């Protein structure tokens, strides 16, 4: 088993773990993005928010905040 197979296996385990937990994942991503923006004084806010939106879009529900 090569490193690529191990990475894929890891991603598959993460997907299985968070399956059905869309809202919790979205909330966690939101908190992580807020934390990063706070620690960097919003220096990378546009990039952080773009990544946050992309991740939240992958959960099937999208952004949980109004």
Q: How many domains does the chain have?
A: 1
How confident is the model at residue 50, as a pLDDT? 93
Residue 11 lies in a domain: no
pLDDT score for 40: 96
Residue-level pLDDT at 66? 41
CA torsion 40-44-49-50 (nearest 10°) is -150
14, part of any domain: no
The string of DSSP letters for 15-61 reads: HHHHTT-HHHHHHHHHHHHHHHHHHTTTTTHHHHHHHHHHHHHHTSS
pTM of this structure? 0.65
- Give the tens place of pLDDT for each residue, 7-66: 888 878 877 777 778 888 889 999 999 999 999 999 999 999 999 998 888 776 555 454
14-31 residue pLDDT tens: 777 777 788 888 899 999
Residue 12 lies in a domain: no
């Amino acid at each position: 088993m090569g490193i690529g197979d191990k990475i894929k296996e890891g991603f598959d385990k993460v997907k299985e773990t968070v399956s059905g937990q869309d809202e919790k994942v979205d909330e966690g991503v939101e908190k992580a993005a807020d934390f990063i923006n706070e620690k960097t004084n919003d220096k990378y806010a546009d990039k952080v928010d773009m990544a946050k939106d992309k991740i939240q879009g992958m959960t099937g529900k999208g952004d949980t905040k109004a």
